[in-house]
Amino acid sequence: MRAWHTAGDGIDALESSEREVPVPGSTEVLVRIGALSLNYRDLLVIEGEGGWRPESSVVPISDAVGTVVAVGDRVTRFSEGDRALPVFLPFWRDGGLTAETYHSPVGGPVNRGMLADYVVVDEQEAVRPPSHLDDAGAATLPIAGLTAWHAVTRTAVGAGDTVLIHGTGGVALFAAQIAIAKGARVIITSSSPDKRSRAERLGVVAALDYRNEDVAARVSELTDGAGADVVIETIGGTNLNLSLEALRIGGRIAFIGLIEGLTAEVSTYMLVTKNATLHGIETGSRAMLEQLVEFTEEHELIPIIDSAYDLDDIRDALKHLKAGNHFGKIVLRA
């Protein structure tokens, strides 16, 4: 089989090699990869940014889906021919995130990733994908879809809530789709007229140009002066101040984004005076992914896919991701 590997030395240095097809252990399944989707963290690993730089060559890419082609003798969760969707944090099965379960993320600088023809995963580290989605759609769920699901459910988004979502990346659009399906009024931001138009077709009540509009003032207008009940903060950094400004008193913020940096100067005074609840969101557990699969099937949600590349064009796909012009997810078809 073929597997791709990186030492954190950039997109152009990403290479493939021939390897033996792995043999599943007694509680493991062998999965033939059908599709993968790209996330910003994949770039951090492949380009060797900070703590994401691998100490030695690793197989990258976190999100994938495939078909089980062999099972160990003690496997009970899957059979040959089933589709399997590996989770991102393999030891976070249920409940809250703990130090004991928060390690070995798939496709990181230590644990192997999914950019190969076949991968072996423990049967406890995967779920069945939504039956109505093809592999390309299902591959977008383990990070972007699940992070959005965690953000929307942890902030208790419900019918009638106004939800401000920053941007039109994979997490943002998933959050918009989920919130709309729950009956919320969604406001989204983008500097691109085309992306704002496409977001409006998803059913958002407003798509704001954050470069040329006062987002907080517009949110206030759209909520009769109250502010947003929930903000899905996908940008991070000092953008948190804008989220606080747009939030109603007593509102909730799901904080996800690292795009604007790992630290920032934030108005703690506004955090207090808004009586805000700030939730840090880290992807989600296997149980949450199973809930997302059920919700996705119930509402027949279709992930927004910007573009699909052949696996041989992985470098072009990564450069497209790095350029930041995509609307929704970028996927690879194996």
How far is the CA of 127 from the CAs of 37, 73, 121, 295, in angstroms? 17, 19, 11, 14
pLDDT value, residue 110: 87
**Residue 290 located in a structural domain:** no
User: Do residues 34 and 61 both lie within one domain?
Assistant: yes
177-197 per-position pLDDT tens digit? 999 999 999 999 999 999 999
Share of the chain above pLDDT 70, in %: 100
User: Do residues 174 and 272 both lie within one domain?
Assistant: yes
User: Do residues 64 and 182 both lie within one domain?
Assistant: no
**Residue 286 located in a structural domain:** no
pLDDT value, residue 216: 98
213: containing domain? 146-280
pLDDT value, residue 262: 84
Query: What's the rounded Cα separation, in Å, for the pair 165 and 173?
Result: 8
Would you say residue 111 has pLDDT above 90?
Answer: no
**Residue 294 located in a structural domain:** no
pLDDT band (50, 70, 90) for residue 260: confident
Would you say residue 258 has pLDDT above 90?
Answer: no
pLDDT value, residue 334: 92
User: Do residues 118 and 212 both lie within one domain?
Assistant: no
Query: What's the rounded Cα separation, in Å, for the pair 53 and 185?
Result: 40
User: Do residues 160 and 254 both lie within one domain?
Assistant: yes
Q: In CATH, what number is assigned to the domain containing residue 195? A: 3.40.50.720
User: Do residues 48 and 70 both lie within one domain?
Assistant: yes
Contact 84, 148 (CB under 8 A): no
Contact 146, 88 (CB under 8 A): yes
Q: Which residue has the tokens 């240095």?
A: 13
How far is the CA of 165 from the CAs of 172, 212, 229, 235, in angstroms? 6, 17, 11, 10
User: Do residues 134 and 150 both lie within one domain?
Assistant: no
Mean pLDDT over 279-301 rounds to 98
Where does residue 99 rank: exposed (0-12), middle (13-18), buried (19+ CB within 10 A)?
exposed
Contact 59, 4 (CB under 8 A): yes
58-76 per-position pLDDT tens digit? 999 999 999 999 999 999 9
Mean pLDDT over 137-157 rounds to 98
User: Do residues 270 and 315 both lie within one domain?
Assistant: no
Q: Which residue has the tokens 């493991």?
A: 28
**Residue 317 located in a structural domain:** yes
pLDDT value, residue 318: 98
**Residue 328 located in a structural domain:** yes
Q: What pTM, to 2 d.p., does this model score? A: 0.96
Mean pLDDT over 288-301 rounds to 98
β-pair partners for 6? 58
Would you say residue 292 has pLDDT above 90?
Answer: yes
User: Do residues 61 and 96 both lie within one domain?
Assistant: yes
Q: In CATH, what number is assigned to the domain containing residue 30? A: 3.90.180.10
Residue among 118, 96, 95, 115 nearest 106 (CA): 115
182-236 per-position pLDDT tens digit? 999 999 999 999 999 999 999 999 999 999 999 999 999 999 999 999 999 999 9
User: Do residues 18 and 113 both lie within one domain?
Assistant: yes
Contact 26, 80 (CB under 8 A): no
Mean pLDDT over 114-138 rounds to 98
pLDDT value, residue 259: 80
Mean pLDDT over 74-87 rounds to 98
Structure tokens at 227: 């502010």
User: Do residues 321 and 200 both lie within one domain?
Assistant: no
Number of domains in the chain: 2
**Residue 297 located in a structural domain:** no
**Residue 287 located in a structural domain:** no
**Residue 295 located in a structural domain:** no
For 262, residues 6+ apart whose C-beta sits below 8 A from its C-beta are none
**Number of residues assigned to the chain:** 334
Q: Which residue has the tokens 């805000």?
A: 276
Contact 38, 318 (CB under 8 A): yes
User: Do residues 93 and 220 both lie within one domain?
Assistant: no
